[in-house]
Amino acid sequence: MDIGFIGCGLIGGSLIKSLDKNAAHNIHFFDTDPDTVKKVENSTHARFMESMDALKNLDVVFVCLHPVKTIEFIKSNVSNFKKGAIVSDVCGVKQSIADAVEDLLIQNGINYVGIHPMAGREFSGFDYAVDNLFENAYFIIAEPKNGADISPLKQIAKDCRFKSIVVTTAKKHDEIIAFTSQLAHVVSNAYIKSPTALLQCGFSAGSFLDMTRVAYLNENMWTELFMMNKESLCTEIQTIINHLEEYKTAMENGDKEKLKSLLKDGRELKEKTNAER
C-alpha cells in the first residue's frame, strides 16, 4: 500500500517506525518542522511529500495532528485525497472528528475511518517515537458510517505489531476513553496540586510516581481532547469525587467497618478488571 502520515510526532512517528521496520509498504510523510523532516528521512525509508498533490497517490492517509488541526487539515485537503482512499486520524476522541469530516469526505468519494492507537508516553515529538510502542497496545477502529472496508487498517495494525484490534463505535469509544485515559490525566494533574507535593522529596515511593506520571502532559492537546468529550469526562470526574467523599465521610465518622468495606469493594473491582484484561 501507499500510506501517508501527516505529522510525525510521538504517534505518527512511532507508526512510521513500526511500519518501516516490519512491513514493505511505501511510506510517505509530511511535517512542517524541517528538523523533524530530516530526522524521519535519516531514520526511516519514508519519503517526504513535497506538496499535498502527493495525497492523490495514497491508499491510506493517517492525519497525526492534534484534534483541531486534524479537522482543519482534512477539510482543506478534501480535493487532494484519492477517490476511494481511507482517510484516518489518531486523535484520542472520535465522535467530534467524525462529526466534523465524515460526511464531507463521503460526499467526495473518500472514506473516513478514525482510529485510536492505545499507547503513548508522557513525552511528545518524533524524538520519543519508537518502533515498538504498540507491541502491547490495543488498536481501536471506530466503525465508519458508510460501511467502508476497514481491512487495510487491520493489516496496518498487524504490521505495527499491535496486541489486538478492537472495532467499536465512536460514541462508545469516547465514553470509555473518558474513564480509562482522560480521567487518569485529570486525576494525575489534580493530585500533584496538593501543597504537600512540594515536601514529598524523601517521602515518596512507587505509588506516588505512578499516580502523578501523566500529570506531565501537553496541555494544548489535552485541552482540545477534553473539550471535545466534556460530557463523558465531567460525569467521570463527578463519579470519582462522589467515591472519594465516601472514604472521607467514613473516616470523619470514625467508622472503621465502613472504611474497610469501601476499600474491599475497590480491591475486588480491581481484581475483576485484572481478570478481564
Q: Which of residues 213-242 bind a second copy (CB under 8 A)?
A: 213-217, 219-220, 222-223, 226-227, 230, 233-234, 236-241
Beta bridge partners of 111: 86
β-bridge mates for residue 47, sequence order: 28
* Residues 70 to 99 in contact with a second copy, rule: CB under 8 A: none
CB of 203 to a second copy, least distance (A): 4
| 98-to-48, 88, 102, 118 alpha-carbon distances in Å | 27, 10, 5, 18
For position 259 contacting a second copy by CB under 8 A, the verdict is yes
Q: Residue 172, exposed/middle/buried by CB under 10 A (0-12, 13-18, 19+)?
A: middle
Q: How far is the CB of 247 from a second copy (least distance, A)?
A: 5
Place of cell 465521610: 249
Is there binding between residue 260 and a second copy (CB under 8 A)? yes
Per CB under 8 A, does 119 bind a second copy?
yes
| Least separation in angstroms between CB 176 and a second copy | 4
Residue 194 binding a second copy, by CB under 8 A:
yes
Binding mask 155-184 for a second copy (x = CB under 8 A): ---------x-x-x----x-xxxxxxx-xx
What residues from 8 to 67 belong to the interface with a second copy (CB under 8 A)? none
CB of 85 to a second copy, least distance (A): 27
Q: Are 229 and 178 in contact (CB under 8 A)?
A: yes
Contacts of 163 (CB under 8 A, 6+ apart): 134, 135, 136, 137, 138
In DSSP terms, which residues pair with 88 in a beta bridge? 62
Q: Cα 234 to chain center, whole Å?
A: 19
Query: Does 104 help bind a second copy (rule: CB under 8 A)?
Result: no
- Nearer to a second copy by Cβ, of 78 and 184: the residue is 184
Residue 167, SS3 per DSSP? strand
Q: Which residue has the cell 482540545?
A: 224
| Comparison of 104 and 244: residue with beta carbon closer to a second copy | 244
Q: Is 123 in the site for a second copy (CB under 8 A)?
A: no
Number of residues that bind a second copy (CB under 8 A): 93
Alpha helices in 228-255 (DSSP H): 230-252
Q: Among 36, 88, 111, 212, which residue sits at the site for a second copy (rule: CB under 8 A)? A: 212
